[in-house]
A and B are shown apart, each in its own frame.
Chain A
């Protein structure tokens, strides 16, 4: 136990230090690759060991609780320092507030700690650890060639990569800490580590815009930190302990825990960039793409949904739970609506993340066995597909120097494989039999009894199809006869893209068994397992999704369609229809006076309806009202 915890949490910290100290490209790359391998291996080794509880007494001879106290205050001091440096009063005030609350908790309430189980790993933690270690590591690997290109492009003289990879690896360690910690003081520490890491990564490029966005991320997440620590103090005052498993399963009186739970949910919403805190995640895309990929898929935003899923059993049947459903469904709809209005590829991805996380929160709020299953499925597949799409966009961006969707028209002829993988990523986002759609299907069936929930989810779902389909379509938009030359990319880039796309597809096929072996135990005794598994068909009393048969049919259909493509390469390739006056150029027609005119068509972004300037203010107001309901309902 000790070894595996050490491997998952401490080793990334050590490797991070290694990246910082050895400032040579080759050594750094080796350290990252070794660390990635250790994390992936370690996460797999975890599988046979769960569930387990582990409380280290000391770490290299020092009491671990004292280490934690020191690290906590050091962390807040660092955040305070950045508050001073960037002259941000909110950050300063919030870090002082957190330090005071923490000091009160540590020195006046608690007697030095040590009664609560420090680490606890069950199937839910395991699923998250696997996501963090495998997907997070793949992203770090892809970052090696990416950052080299990035710095070459920006013409940076002294490489800042040591600092970059220091934080990236630190982030992975911190994330593992979040999902493994059971003593909520430890959880809070790792929670703050991820806040600080994201701040450092967003500000990495040190441009004015990067710094501004990083500071925004820090103060918004500090609000979450403050809510978190307030919840802890409240819990400790009332219950005299901060042992997560104990708190959830002994479920004292609902009246006592509802407010701290609402505060923890609030902290989760800030972490997961739900409205009205979305702007920090949108601002985060100024950072190099691997950072976005990491923040959006396997780390940071997943902290929020993990935390709410963790406490979900304790709030079953409460009004708070219903409020979370409505809030989540609202975010799902609002995020999708804003994504429709965007032509910036990274912004589409960002809003789609916010929207999907909203759906996960909505599921956690519905809080039935089906809904929790849906939430976990969505977490897994969203992580894979979103990481894939971010890495695709990053690769495309380095190639065409634009992240605008309109500039990706006919990308297929320039970067065939990357474009195909991107389309594949989009398909895994919206189509059956892939995992995200499976999750959405479960979510809808579970939420059908929630009136506001189902209406908003239905609308959001249709908007989601719209913004993905048009993106996939224009990647292919060019006359094309079926012969292409593969583009050249670094090996690690291909490795990341191909492994993630294959992962998204193959995990979908085995999703019924993921459900059986991972999700049912993850729900434990809190929820009765709902779906029966038969020949890869998931079925419960009111719904049925034939995952495996449909996958086989899909493979079959795909093969037929591919054969059709092969057949089509023999057919006559004609120019697109331009009213009979087309020339030999695909986009050019003969206009008046025999002059050539270029015919242009752009996507509908409907910015008069779905534009940011039009919607954001209203959505923020709506979200604040709903958040007030979440917290106010708990008072």
Chain B
């Protein structure tokens, strides 16, 4: 029982702090790669605090509903992850948040929000099946969808499911809003899309969405951690390497179109997943 409560507290309170810290580190490393010094590591928190203190403005009151729904769903998904619940269920709850983010953007008539929302949907369309297949692969290998059982597996999954890990990497890049997939919105404004799906969220509501994003980052890194669950050192090394690769990819690629994304991610992703699934089924 006390374990459960600790897990809930970690998932609910510590996870977003870690997520915010990762964002801060991300910005410093990105800056160094670009020959800049970059902001302090706590910058992400300063941003959110400042946004919180701004006047609350909305185009449509349902935006407030959607912002809260997004952050709640993201938080519940992370809490369930720390409770070592069912992977597919966690993915579906995470998807609730993603959908509400889109619905909130659609509730404004600004073309920037609208187009951003549709691009966000296309991003969901690109990454969601891959994550489902990754989860299916993990199940085929370990015989369970439950994180508790997967963490107890006696060898790192990455050796059996390397291609699925790469496929998860595609999903991670899209979810982290990194180039070449930062179509719907990105950390810096777009010329053609302003802030895309986030355009009409502002002030405290934007802050909520930022916090929701921190939860999402933690959740996705949690998914990655399943691939090396036998020891803390190996797990942290894998996560650090993966995230650094994401930053590198972000900095060396340009933003592409949604058509390219859908074609490329589905073609590559499904090939990788199929090969690995067949391998697991036969092996």
Judge whether B162 is part of the interface by a CB distance below 8 angstroms. Answer: no
Across the interface, B121 reaches (CB within 8 A) one of A432, A478, A479, A604, namely: A604
Identify which of residues 34-77 in chain B touch chain A, using a CB-to-CB cut-off of 8 Å. Answer: 55-69, 72-73, 76
B88 is an interface residue with CB less than 8 A from chain A: yes
Among B15-23, B98-106, B214-222, the stretch in contact with A = B98-106
Q: With a CB–CB cut-off of 8 A, which chain B residues contact A565?
A: 61-62, 64-65
Minimum CB–CB distance for B14 against chain A, Å: 19
Residues of B with C-beta under 8 A to A481: 61
Shortest distance between the CB of A468 and any CB in chain B (Å): 8
Q: Which chain A residue has the least Cβ–Cβ distance from B104?
A: A473
**B146 contacts A543, C-beta separation under 8 Å:** yes
With beta carbons under 8 angstroms apart, the residue of B55, B76, B129, B273 that contacts A572 is B55
Which of B25-33, B135-143, B151-159, B247-255 is the contact stretch? B135-143
- Given A470-B102, A476-B106, A543-B86 in contact, is the A567-B132 Cβ separation under 8 Å? no
Q: How far is the CA of A482 from the CA of B61 in the complex (A)?
A: 6
With A473-B103, A561-B72, A599-B110 already in contact, the answer to whether A571 and B58 are too (CB < 8 A) is yes
* B125 A462 Cβ-Cβ under 8 A: yes
Contact B57 A560 (CB under 8 A): no
Please name 17 pairs of A and B residues whose Cβ atoms are closer than 8 Å in the assembled complex, sorted by A.
Answer: A444-B132, A445-B139, A455-B274, A457-B132, A473-B105, A474-B106, A476-B62, A477-B108, A542-B146, A544-B89, A560-B72, A564-B65, A567-B56, A570-B56, A574-B58, A601-B111, A604-B121
A473, closest chain B residue (CB): B106
Most A CB atoms within 10 A — which of B89, B102, B277?
Answer: B89
Interface residues of A (CB under 8 A from B): 409-410, 412, 430-432, 437, 441, 444-445, 448-449, 451, 454-455, 457-459, 461-463, 465-466, 469-470, 472-474, 476-482, 541-546, 550, 553, 557, 560-562, 564-565, 567-579, 586-587, 599-601, 603-604
Known: A458-B133, A599-B111. Is A568-B61 also a contact (CB below 8 A)?
Answer: yes
**Measured between alpha carbons, how far is A414 from B107 in the docked complex, in Å?**
14
Q: Using A455-B274, A469-B103, A565-B64 as known contacts, list a sample of 11 further A-B pairs with CB atoms less than 8 Å apart, ordered by residue number in A.
A: A449-B281, A473-B102, A480-B60, A543-B146, A550-B76, A561-B65, A569-B61, A571-B56, A572-B56, A577-B200, A587-B109
Asked if A574 meets B59 with Cβ closer than 8 Å, knowing A449-B140, A454-B133, A470-B118, the reply is yes
**In contact, B92 and A432 (Cβ under 8 angstroms):** yes
- Cα A34 to Cα B38 in complex, Å, equals 74
Residues of A within 8 A of B143 (CB): 542
Q: Check A542–B145 contact: CB distance below 8 A.
A: yes
Quote the shortest CB–CB distance from B170 to chain A (angstroms): 14
Does chain A have a CB within 8 A of B230? Answer: no
- B68: chain A residues at CB < 8 Å are 557, 560-561, 564
B122 x A604 contact (CB < 8 A): yes
Q: Which residues of B contact A432 (CB under 8 A)?
A: 89, 92-93, 96
Contacts A470-B106, A557-B68, A564-B65: A573 and B59 contacting too (C-beta < 8 A)? yes
Q: Please state if B96 and A431 are interface contacts (CB–CB under 8 Å).
A: yes
Interface status of B278 (Cβ within 8 A of chain A): yes
A579 to B143, CA, bound (A): 53
Q: Once bound together, how far apart are the Cα atoms of A574 and B55, in whole Å?
A: 12
A462 contacts B128, C-beta separation under 8 Å: yes
SS class, residues of chain B in contact with chain A? helix
Residue B186 CB within 8 A of the other chain: no
B132 touches A477 (CB 8 A): no
Shortest CB-to-CB span from A462 to chain B, Å, is 4
Chain A residues positioned under 8 Å from B242 (CB to CB): none
Closest 4 CB pairs of A and B: A473-B106, A576-B110, A568-B64, A601-B114
What are the residues of chain A within 8 A of B113 when measuring CB–CB? 576-577
Residues on A with C-beta less than 8 A from B140 are 448-449
Nearest chain B CB to A453 CB, angstrom units: 10
- Write the chain B residue with the least CB distance to A420: B62
A568 engages B63 (CB within 8 Å): yes
Contacts of B243 in A (CB 8 A): none
Contact B129 A473 (CB under 8 A): no
* A557 in contact with B109 given A445-B145, A568-B58 (CB within 8 Å): no
**C-alpha gap A587/B278 in the complex (Å):** 52
Q: Does B112 contact A (CB under 8 A)?
A: yes
Instruction: Identify B60's interface contact among A430, A444, A479, CB under 8 A.
Output: A479
Whether the pair A572, B61 counts as a contact (CB closer than 8 A) is no
Measured CB to CB, the closest approach of chain B to A339, in angstroms, equals 13
Nearest chain A residue, comparing its CB with the CB of B277: A451
Q: Give chain A residues whose Cβ lies under 8 Å from the Cβ of B261.
A: none
Q: Are A458 and B110 in contact (CB under 8 A)?
A: no
B132 and A469 within 8 A (CB): no
Q: Are B72 and A557 in contact (CB under 8 A)?
A: yes
Q: List A contacts of B146 (CB < 8 A).
A: 542-544
Question: How far is A479 from B273 in the complex, measured between Cα atoms in Å?
Answer: 43
Q: Is the beta-carbon distance between A448 and B136 smaller than 8 angstroms?
A: yes
A445 to B56, CA, bound (A): 43
Complexed CA–CA distance, A544 and B150 (Å): 13
How many angstroms from the CA of A307 to the CA of B115 in the assembled complex? 44
Is there an interface contact between B88 and A444, defined as CB atoms closer than 8 Å?
yes
CA distance A542 to B144 in the complex (A): 4
Interchain CA distance A457-B135 in the complex, whole Å: 13
